[in-house]
Structure 1
Amino acid sequence: MNGRHKWDGTISERDFLEACRTFPQRWSEADPSNPPWMWVSHPVVSGFAQEIGYLALENVCHQKSIENLLLTGLDGCSSDEDPGIDGATLVKNPDSRTHLYDYHILYSFSYNVPMLYFRGYQYDGQQLQLEEIMADFSLSSSIGSLTESTWTFITTEDHPFLHRPWHMLHPCATRDWMSLLFSDSSPLLDCRQTVIQKHYLPSWLSVVGQVVGLKIPLGLHAHVNIPSLTMKDL
Structure 2
Amino acid sequence: MEDNHEYDDGIIKETGCLEEDDIIDSAALVQPQRCERCRYDFHIVYSLSYRVPVLYFRAYWSDGQPLALQELEKNIPESTRQELTVHKWTFITQEEHPYLNQPWFTLHPCGTSEWMKLLFTRDTSTLALGGVAVHRYMVSWFSFIATVFGLKLPFGMFGSSDSHTLASS
Select which of 27, 39, 64 maps to 1:100. Answer: 39
**Segment drifting more, 102-111 vs 211-220:** 211-220
Number of the residue aligned with 2:4: none
Query: 1:129 & 1:202 partners in 2: Cα distance?
Result: 29
Q: Does structure 1 residue 189 correspond to structure 2 residue 150?
A: no
Q: List per-residue Cα deviations over 1:193-215 (Å, max 9, x = no partner).
A: 7x333201110011111113333
Change (3 A) 1:212 1:141: closer
Q: Does structure 1 residue 201 correspond to structure 2 residue 138?
A: yes
Query: 1:216 & 1:189 partners in 2: Cα distance?
Result: 26
Change (3 A) 1:148 1:155: farther
Aligned residues of 1:148 and 1:154 also touching (Cα < 8 A): no
Q: Aligned runs of 1:71-82 on 2, under 5 Å?
A: none
Q: Which runs of structure 1 show a deviation greater than 3 angstroms over 4 or more consecutive aligned residues?
A: 140-143
Aligned residues of 2:95 and 2:105 also touching (Cα < 8 A): yes
Higher relative contact order (CA 8 A, sep 6+): 1
Question: Considering only CA atoms, is the larger Rg found in Structure 1 or Structure 2?
Answer: 2
Q: Does structure 1 residue 220 correspond to structure 2 residue 157?
A: yes
Select which of 113, 116, 126 maps to 2:52. Answer: 113
Aligned residues of 2:135 and 2:160 also touching (Cα < 8 A): no
Query: 2:135 & 2:79 partners in 1: Cα distance?
Result: 31
**Segment drifting more, 160-169 vs 214-223:** 214-223
Provide the secondary structure at the position in 1 that maps to 2:72. Answer: helix
Q: Aligned runs of 1:141-180 on 2, under 5 Å?
A: 141-142=80-81, 146=84, 149-180=87-118
Kindly state the Cα deviation for residue 136 of structure 1 after the two structures are TM-superposed. Answer: 2.2
Select which of 94, 103, 126 maps to 2:65. Answer: 126
Q: How many residues align?
A: 127
Change (3 A) 1:168 1:180: same
Structure 1: runs of 5+ lacking an equivalent: 1-95, 225-234
* TM-score, reference length from structure 1: 0.49
Kindly state the Cα deviation for residue 148 of structure 1 after the two structures are TM-superposed. Answer: 7.1
Provide the secondary structure at the position in 1 that maps to 2:90. Answer: coil
Number of the residue aligned with 2:6: none
RMSD, aligned CA: 2.4
Structure 2: runs of 5+ lacking an equivalent: 1-34, 162-169
Kindly state the Cα deviation for residue 141 of structure 1 after the two structures are TM-superposed. Answer: 4.9
